[in-house]
Structure 1
Amino acid sequence: FRSIIFSSKATIRISPNSTYKIYDALFALEENIITSENSFISCPQQNYPFESWNEDQTLFSAMNSSVNWYFQALDAKLGKSNLQSYIEQIGYGNQNINGELSSYWMESSLKISPIEQVELLKSLYFNDFGFTPENIQTTKESIQLFSDVNCTIYGKTGTGCIEEKNVNGWFIGFVESKNHTYFFATNIQAIDNATGSIASEITLSILSDMNIYKL
């Protein structure tokens, strides 16, 4: 089934922020910049705003802590030409990466709607892209958040910050249950305090109300 809440906003494109890291990781895996066995990148400096960022990273740790410098390092190795090709291949939102290479996905040129987020997640899940199956699986595993006997939840948050205000919060992903897979994309916007963590809380509450996931 399809359920759209606040549907008037569902087709409006906005910056993906850290939700884009799912696909950034996939592109880097496809280019063999990182692999499922070796995704280590050493920390380039020690003065990042979050303690977890001031450490060496693997894909899994970087995705878990949403470490910007890790994915910026992947982009630097991928290069804009490769990135543009991949963005066009998967049909990511407005396909515009004209912003700075280090920040085109952070309240910049690249934009995507909630509906497009869901459609892309479905394409990722079923590998409609025709990418290496191992790379698809590694990407999925990197965003696994929770698993029990009833379901497994995969997801990625994103928070957009403008002038030190959190104005754009995302949580996207999918839930595997015994009989179904459910895809979701939640976006919240405000003058401040619109964070990925709040979008995540809202999403899990909705999934619980729909008896897809039990809080």
Structure 2
Amino acid sequence: MNKLITMVFILMVSISCKTKTKQDQVKETVFEKRSDLQLILDSAQLDGAILIYDQEKDTYYSNNFEWSKKGFLPASTFKIPNSIIALETGVVKNDSTLMKWDGIERNFKIWNQDLIFKKAFQYSCVPCYQEVARKIGVDQMKSYLKKLKYDGMVFDSASIDTFWLVGASSISPFSEIDFLKRLYGSKLPIQKRTEAIIKKMMLIETKDQYKLSGKTGWASNGDDNNGWFVGFLELSDNTIFFATNIEPTESFDMKNFPKARKAVTMKVLNTLNYL
């Protein structure tokens, strides 16, 4: 009997040690601050953060992790969840659905025409997506945002078509990447058809070495400007997620702001040897 008890004890200890060894092998996510990434923003006369996530290495890189935790208006990056909800609710049928121009002349001439849904996304047509948001409505918008775990949006019936541009809504670069990871990994509770359409709409360029997908955003309130470029870079053996959030310094030439968001992101991806 004593021998049996001893054998059982030895077996339990052995199993416990094996389990512990296996748990010890589980890697923790790495957060690596890079001064060379800060130099890229400094040379461009920009403030902010560029957050990169390497899926294969389970590693985040950034010049400023504190900035990456802060919340900002999502601006036109919200067109990604807005498009998902539009497709899931049937407000928009597919990426070829025609968005009729309302006849109002706007500063961005490219918006002053009828656009199919895919082009409205790629041209970042604000009035097109304001109409989409109004058709979705407050209740459905809140319900789907909760379902998608896209938190931080603050709105009611009066702000249903502006809450991502002005007001108290906010999302951090970390949250942007979390959402994109779930979209890319088919972890969102949406139809496969919707997912495929969104990924098709987000595609920016395809080259031999990579596929780049994403969306820019720009929140402007008087002299305050905040810009985004979020998305993912598909390599042959890895996927890199990024969320760039920048603001101009006093010496920055604002005519360069539209291109700066993507430009600094691509420089960072190149510096990290992904391009």
The two structures have a TM-score, normalised by structure 1, of 0.92
SS at structure 1 position matched to 2:122: helix
Q: Do residues 36 (structure 1) and 36 (structure 2) align?
A: no
- 1:142 paired with 2:201, answer yes
Q: Counterpart in 2 of 1:207?
A: 269
Give me the whole-angstrom Cα distance separating, in 2, the residues matched to 1:169 and 1:177. Answer: 26
Correspondence 1:24-63 to 2 at 5 A: 24-36=82-94, 38-63=96-121
Query: Partners in 2 of 1:197 and 1:93 — Cα distance?
Result: 28
More helix by share: 2
> How far did 1:212 drift?
1.3
Q: Which amino acid counterpart does residue 113 of structure 1 have in structure 2?
A: S
Moved more, 193-202 or 13-22: 193-202
How far off is 1:3 after superposition? Answer: 1.2
Q: Distance in 1 between matches of 2:200 and 2:209?
A: 18
Paired residue secondary structure (1:10)? helix
What's the C-alpha RMSD, in Å, of the aligned pairs?
1.7
Worse-superposed segment, 169-178 or 2-11? 2-11
Query: Residue 46 of structure 1: CA displacement?
Result: 3.7
Tell me, yes or no, if the aligned pair for 2:205 and 2:211 is still in contact at 8 Å: yes
- For residues 168-208 of structure 1, the C-alpha deviation after alignment (integer angstroms, 9 at most, x for no partner) is 01000001110011110000124673945312111011011
Aligned residue identity for 2:169? L
Pairing partner for 1:12 from 56, 62, 70 = 70
Match runs of 1:1-215 below 5 Å? 1-36=59-94, 38-98=96-156, 100-163=159-222, 165=223, 167-190=225-248, 193=254, 195-213=257-275
Count matched residues: 212
2: distance between equivalents of 1:11 and 1:206? 19
- Partner amino acid, structure 2, of 1:141: K
SS at match of 2:182: helix
> What is the CA distance between 1:127 and its match in structure 2?
2.3
Separation in 2, partners of 1:28, 1:38 = 13
Give me the identity figure in percent. Answer: 24
The 3-state SS of whatever aligns with 1:2 is: strand
**Which ranges in structure 1 are unaligned for 5 or more consecutive residues?**
none
